[in-house]
């Protein structure tokens, strides 16, 4: 055993646990930990402009890599700033560790400066939250946090460290420290046989693959299972990329917002559905009477309380997704060898053929630009290895309807929480986790403005990515949801910018803001210039190693397809429904001067 400060032990523990990527801001109450990181040298740190941004970056890093990102901050408001990040992480089962400084233990009850009970505040949005009151508890607390984050349904944790606890000396030997075992339920042979019995009892079986398959790193096994059975797979929003979009058995996403028309149509033809690592989220199912009608359901999830949470399946199995898939594969291969697996070729071919029908129009020539054209050009401009990052709004919904994803962890999305402002800082975390790879973020103008200062982080630390901002100067999703109230109330972001009259009433000059924060920017107003603009952005990112903003000026109003149930999605073919809901003309802003110049 060696005597050392608790913070020096913490840094050694972080390294041994494989958590070596940190995002945060130093401050008085957390400076001891920063001093230990500086002395150790094994933890890379990215300085953010907002602690919430740091939490989203740690989240993005965790999603992109499957490792545990770190978010660090001082006492008081730093911890409360992390809460939105923790909520986004726990909602989507993402392990992420937040570490906060705290006032000394002897003044925690005296309303000391920036002393807040962050443990109590964080508990509802973490799997584990603890204020460490005794220095000797530090190693065990961190070991427990890592075990809890990784076991069962993954999720985030927060550890709060009073400054006197950080500075206290403890006896510690890193060679005697070992990460605690990860505890995850494993499907048995008997359970796998039950799953296969029910699945093969149908004439048109289908797999719904959720984010749990990606968390379990089981994408390869999932594709093997689909191919062995020759049955279609529909990824959820969080499972997108688990099977390549161009695989013949990828049948399209199902949902009432993020979906494909052919995905919904194929699902409605199915009669047995195997859900793997999914939550039956409401944006996926829509009205449950439509979703459930005429089909049986098997639900496999790592968390026991997820089984039956939304509806009771015909068969529920608690298991890690990879363990379940491997057990199912063993049974399926044995039965194929025995000749007892039905031939699903006709059903699979039907779903494959359906993928060539019912596509929404994207090749619009309109000025201002229609958003559908943007996604068409993104598919053409960015390769199959591109990682997309997005969070909320009509931009995300339309992107999920029209973009293509080909690999697991190449669609990074705060799916359940959907916090505005998440996209930019999360993209920085993704770049840290995927150095040298193409990362493309997608935001509406409001999401982009929420944490726009985080662009400076990318400029300072040379974190290049392309941020596509589809700017209609509107809270588009909220405006669309106001339609039943026959109002258009406080959802317009437009104003006459006295410093940038060329924005023509669209308000914020995103190009100037991005450039002022040390980044590059391109503005596009003509759809014929989208390809050139994306190519220019890629060149600028490669040359300067900074974020590059591509602002696309859209028509102010476009309603994106959505509905309340799978068989009644409103395609909004008639876009103009009233004086407040009509497409608004815009004088072009001089494309030639900003694209290819």
Domain boundary among 137, 154, 176: 176
Same-domain check for residues 72 and 144: yes
Instruction: Report the domain count for the chain.
Output: 3
Task: Residue 130: give its domain's CATH number.
Answer: 3.40.50.970
Whether residue 116 is found in the same domain as residue 200: no
Residue 360 placed within a domain: no
pLDDT at 273: 98
Q: What is the reported pLDDT for 44?
A: 98
In a domain, 334, yes or no: yes
Per-residue tokens: 380: 């053409």
The answer to whether position 184 is within a domain reads no
Cis peptide upstream of residue 125 (ω within 30 degrees of 0): no
- Give backbone dihedrals phi and psi of 389, rounded to 5 degrees, phi first: -130, 130
The H-or-E segment that residue 261 falls in is helix 261-269
172 and 197 assigned to the same domain: no
Same-domain pairing of 559 and 472: yes
User: Does 537 lie in the same domain as 415?
Assistant: yes
Residue 172 sits in the same domain as residue 193: no
Locus of tokens 């591109």: 386
The pLDDT of residue 597: 27
For position 573, what pLDDT does the model report?
A: 57
Per-residue pLDDT of the chain (597 residues; tens, 9 = 90+): 799 999 999 999 999 999 999 999 999 999 999 999 999 999 999 999 999 999 999 999 999 999 999 999 999 999 999 999 999 999 999 999 999 999 999 988 877 877 899 999 999 999 999 999 999 999 999 999 999 999 999 999 999 999 999 999 999 999 999 999 999 999 999 999 999 999 999 999 999 999 999 999 999 999 999 999 999 999 999 999 999 999 999 999 999 999 999 999 999 999 999 999 999 999 999 999 999 999 999 999 999 999 999 999 999 999 999 999 999 999 999 999 999 999 999 999 999 999 988 788 899 999 999 999 999 999 999 999 999 999 988 889 999 999 999 999 999 999 888 899 999 999 999 999 999 999 999 999 999 999 999 999 999 999 999 999 999 887 767 788 887 887 777 887 787 888 988 888 888 899 999 999 999 999 999 999 999 999 999 999 999 999 999 999 999 888 888 889 999 898 875 333 333 333 332 222 222 223 332
Residue 565 CA to chain centroid, in angstroms?
A: 24
Residue 364 belongs to a domain: no
pTM of the model: 0.93
Q: What is the DSSP letter of 492?
A: B
Judgement on whether residues 41 and 153 belong to the same structural domain of the protein: yes
Please tell me whether residues 133 and 241 are part of one structural domain: no
Of 132, 155, 176, the domain-final residue: 176
CATH number for the domain including 232?
3.40.50.1220
Q: How far is CA 324 from CA 76, 186, 242, 321, in A?
A: 43, 7, 16, 5
**Whether 437 and 575 share a structural domain:** yes
Which range of residues forms the domain containing residue 216? 189-354
Asked whether residue 199 falls in the same domain as residue 327, the answer is yes
Task: Tell which of 296, 323, 354 closes a domain.
Answer: 354
Are 583 and 511 contained in the same domain?
Answer: yes
Domain co-membership, 350 together with 377: no
Q: Of 21, 55, 17, 150, which Cα lies nearest the Cα of 93? A: 150
DSSP 279-321: ---HHHH-SHHHHHTT-EEEEEESSGGGTTSSS--SEEEE--H
pLDDT for residue 65: 97
């Amino acid at each position: 055993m060696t005597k050392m400060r608790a913070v020096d032990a913490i840094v050694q523990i972080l390294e041994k646990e494989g958590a070596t990527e940190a995002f945060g801001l130093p401050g008085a109450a957390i400076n001891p930990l920063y001093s230990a990181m500086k002395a150790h040298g094994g933890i890379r740190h990215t300085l953010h402009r907002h602690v919430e941004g740091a939490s989203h970056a740690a989240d993005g890093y965790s999603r992109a890599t499957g490792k545990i990102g770190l978010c660090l901050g001082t006492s008081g408001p730093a911890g409360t700033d992390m809460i939105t990040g923790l909520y986004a992480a726990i909602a989507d089962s993402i392990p992420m560790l937040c570490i906060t400084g705290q006032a000394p233990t002897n003044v925690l009850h005296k309303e000391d400066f920036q002393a807040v009970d962050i443990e109590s505040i964080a508990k509802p949005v973490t799997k584990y939250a603890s204020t460490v009151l005794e220095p000797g508890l530090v190693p065990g607390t961190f070991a427990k946090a890592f075990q809890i984050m990784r076991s069962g349904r993954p999720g985030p944790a927060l550890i709060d460290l009073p400054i006197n606890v950080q500075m206290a000396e403890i006896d510690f030997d890193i060679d005697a420290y070992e990460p605690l075992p990860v505890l995850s339920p494993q499907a048995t042979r008997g359970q796998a046989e039950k799953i296969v019995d029910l699945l093969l009892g149908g004439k048109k079986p289908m797999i719904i693959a959720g984010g749990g398959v990606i968390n379990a790193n089981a994408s390869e096994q999932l594709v093997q299972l689909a191919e062995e059975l020759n049955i279609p797979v529909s990824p959820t929003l969080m499972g997108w990329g688990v099977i390549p979009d161009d695989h013949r058995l990828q049948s399209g996403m199902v949902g009432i917002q993020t979906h494909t028309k052919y995905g919904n149509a194929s699902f409605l033809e199915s009669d047995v559905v195997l859900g793997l690592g999914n939550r039956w989220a409401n944006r996926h199912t829509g009205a449950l009477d439509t979703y459930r009608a005429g089909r049986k359901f098997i639900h496999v999830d790592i968390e026991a309380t997820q089984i039956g949470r939304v509806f009771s399946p015909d068969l529920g199995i608690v298991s890690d997704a990879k363990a379940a898939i491997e057990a199912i594969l063993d049974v399926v291969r044995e039965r194929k060898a025995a000749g007892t697996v039905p031939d699903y070729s006709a059903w699979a071919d039907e779903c494959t053929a359906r993928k060539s029908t019912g596509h929404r129009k994207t090749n619009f020539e309109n000025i201002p630009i229609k958003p559908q054209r943007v996604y068409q050009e993104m598919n053409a401009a960015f390769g199959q290895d591109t990682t997309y990052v997005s969070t909320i709004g009509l931009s995300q919904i339309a992107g999920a309807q029209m973009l293509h994803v080909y690999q697991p962890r190449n669609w990074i999305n705060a799916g359940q929480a959907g916090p505005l402002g998440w996209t930019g800082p999360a993209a920085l975390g993704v770049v840290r986790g995927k150095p040298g790879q193409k990362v493309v973020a997608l935001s509406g103008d409001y999401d982009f403005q929420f944490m726009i200062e985080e662009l400076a982080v990318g400029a300072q630390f040379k974190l290049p990515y392309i941020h596509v901002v589809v700017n209609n100067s509107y809270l588009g999703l909220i405006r669309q949801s106001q339609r039943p109230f026959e109002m258009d109330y406080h959802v317009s972001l437009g104003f006459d910018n006295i410093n940038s009259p060329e924005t023509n009433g669209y308000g914020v000059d995103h190009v100037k803001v991005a450039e002022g924060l040390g980044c590059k920017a391109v503005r596009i107003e003509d759809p014929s210039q989208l390809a050139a603009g994306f190519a220019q952005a890629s060149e600028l990112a490669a040359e300067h190693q900074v974020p590059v903003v591509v602002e696309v000026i859209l028509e102010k109003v476009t309603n994106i397809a959505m509905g309340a149930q799978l068989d009644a999605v409103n395609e909004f073919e008639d876009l103009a429904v009233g004086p407040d809901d009509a497409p608004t003309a815009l004088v072009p802003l001089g494309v030639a001067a900003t694209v290819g110049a």
